[in-house]
Structure formats: C-alpha cells, structure tokens
Amino acid sequence: MVKSSRRSALEILNRIDAGGGYSNLLLDTELSKPGFNKSDKAFITALVYGVLENRLTADYVIARSSRLQLGKIEPRVLNLLRLGVCQILFMDGVEDYAAVSETVELAQGRHIKGFANGILRTVCREKEQGIPAWPDRETDEDGYLETRYSCPRRLIRKWRGEYGAAAAEGILRSLKEKPLHTARVNTLRTTRGALLSILDGMAQESALDDNAIEFERMPELNSLEAWKKGLFHLQGAASQLCCEALGAQPGETVLDLCAAPGGKSFTIAEMMQNRGRLLACELHESRLPLIVRGAERLGITILSTVCNDASLRNPALGMADRVLCDVPCSGLGVIRSKPEIRYRPLEESAALPALQYAILCEGAAHVRAGGTLVYSTCTLSRAENEEIASRFAGENAGFEPLRLPGRLHAPDYQATLLPHVFHTDGFFVAAFRKKTGD
C-alpha cells in the first residue's frame, strides 16, 4: 500500500504544520491503525522524518524550480512538493519515477498535478546534472548553513552567539546524524552483561554510563521477552547522566517534580535499590498512568504519583533529601528526535524562563538541609540554562553550588552536554546543595 503510505505521511506533515502535535506522537497514532505492515510503517516514518529533517533544503530546491514564490504556494501543496523532493534527493531506495508519479497522484486537481509534475521532473533533471549547488559560503554563510543543514537562520545565529561559531556548526552537523536509541538496564532485576546476552547482538554497551545500552535500530519492544520482563526501559544517555548528578541513595526520600513519562523516576528508583520513597509529580493527570504502568513493569514499588503544578507552592509534597526539577523547555537539544522543533519561532519560548525559575524555586522549598537540588533541561539555550542556574545561585543564599560527577566533565556545578561532543541529546544540568546552617 505504497500510495496509502505516502498519503499518511502527507497528512501527518500537514497536521504538524497546523500545530497538531509532535511528529513522534502523530506517527505513533497513525502507525497504530490497522492495515500497515512493517514495511509500510518504516516507509511512512522515513518519509515524515525525511521531510522534517530536510525541509529548508527542499524549499531551496523547490524555489529554484518553481515559477511561483514559495510564499505563494498553498501550504498543503508545498508539503506535497517537499515529500516528492525528499524522496528524489534523500531516499536512495526510491526510484525517481516512482517518487514523481506516486507523489503527483496525491495532488488534488489537474492544475496542481501539472504544477507538481513539472517541478519534480525538473528536480530529477537537476539531480542528474549534479545541481543545484549550495549557496556560496563566502558571500552568504547563513544561507549556506541554513540550506546545508535545514536549520533556520535565527536558530543558527542564536547558537553562534551563545556557543561560538565552531560549536554552532558542530550542533548543526549533529542534526544530520541518526540518534542512538538508548536504554537503561533495570538493575533491580539484571545486570548489563546479562541483558546484553539475552538481547543477543541487538544492543551494545554505552560508554557514557555503566548501566546504559544502545540499540542501533529500535526493535519492536512488545515482541521482546526482555522488555516484557521489565529488564530495561528507554531513556536517553544525557537523561541518565542527569540522574547520576542527583545521586539518589537507598532509603532516601526523593521528589521528581516533572516526571512524565517516567524515565528519570525509574532510574532514580533503581539507583535507590527500590528502598525509600520516590514521589513522581506531573501536571497532566492523563500522563500519570504512563508512570504507574512503567513502574509496575519494572517491579518498582517505592514510587507513588501525584497530579501537581510544579510552578505553584505546595507544602503537601513535604520535604525530600533530593529534588529533581527537569523542567519544560524549548526542546532545542532533542531536534534529532523531534525535527519540527527547529522551525518554531524562538518567540514561542520567551515565557519559559519565568516558568522554569518558578519550578526551580518550588523544588528548592522541598529540599532538606544538606540535601541536593538538580535543575535540568533538554534544550540548548542560555536563557533557559545557564541564566536560570546563575540567577538561582545568586538569589538563594541558603544553597551552594554542588560540583557535578566526573562523567559530565564539568569544571563546576553546571554542565552543557553539546550533542557533537557527548554524542547525546543536547542537555543541561546544574546541581545545588542546601546548606546545613552549621
């Protein structure tokens, strides 16, 4: 059902543009529908991510081949053209004639079919001739980088200004890499060596953490006995390092203020050897069952959940030895997994720092004397990262910076995990210790 696969991909792309959600969630919903075999699902996924990862590059190619300016092309038609261009230029397993004919078939109306056919055939001819070339880097560096890496200039300039030109291009290069699928060994039930033996070559050790493994290709989890038996859960390597910074110990009380979907809570519980008390909080009550089901599968019994707005004061949560504030953020560190994030206006995240600081201060209110407070995000933005941590350090005399573990390679209490350096998602972690008053 090749035509249906392309139509499904096109519908997902249109919904994303209309603000209908994240690509991974929309794909999960679409692929759960009956009628798609394994090959269909893989093709739909490749089409959606192919367009999202290369959209600005495709737009550059379309603009060269179209008599109409991009801004005058109806959005649904533009997505159709992007779908065709990305098959022609970036999907080796698709023949050009099939990319053209099957994509044109999705167009509605004779005029649009002709328009799409003409552009896609021009792209095929230019591909054979080795054109188009990128914009000239010497005269238009931002244009070159935007087209080469399909990343808006506003974001390129932000990263260059905050991290430097070399690091900014390193981040851009990382966007073209396929993210590794990282998981955490459930040390309550097995060891990494034993789990890798059970998985029999499907996964390998991660160098970043002693209890992390990596899948080059994500298997069908529900078909794995190791998954059904709760021997591991999915969690990015950077997220696992964040849990190491928290350093939870058996018998302690730990508060995870923004817990869903639960990966950090599960790792924290395993580090605690399932001894003590772990309270996982989440703003949206509908997401709490995700945490509960995950804990049950893993055999975690110390975890309880509560629906809670982490930005508001709630004395009922009590005091804890360690508090994790993994706050909502702009997500600029997880673009490889959610490529559409790069196209969102930076202004959309302007209100986030105020929310993030409020959550961090609420977390601080629950830390016992001598206890640990960790602040983290999965974004690459100084306004959401270093500026929040530095403000907290300057405004809260009852806390002192706490040096991060060696694995984070940080000189002090803050660490930015750049994806091209750590080969993880982009991530930020800061740690504080509440003074004892001695």
Note if 124 is an active site residue: no
Q: In what order do the strands lie in the sheet with 212-215?
A: 203-205, 212-215, 181-185, 232-234
Calculate the CA 431 to chain-centre distance.
22
**d(Cα 185, Cα 235) in Å, to the nearest integer?**
10
DSSP state of 198: H
Tokens (6 digits) for 248 = 């939870």
Could you tell me if 134 and 144 are in contact, meaning their C-beta atoms sit under 8 angstroms apart? yes
Q: Considering the candidates 281, 325, 329, 378, report the single residue annotated as catalytic.
A: 378
**d(Cα 241, Cα 258) in Å, to the nearest integer?**
17
Q: DSSP alpha helices (H): ranges in 32-94?
A: 38-53, 55-65, 75-90
Cα 313-269-264 angle, rounded to 5 deg: 65
Helix, strand, or coil (residue 175): coil
Calculate the CA 200 to chain-centre distance.
28
Paired with 205 in beta bridges are 213
Q: Which residues are catalytic?
A: 378
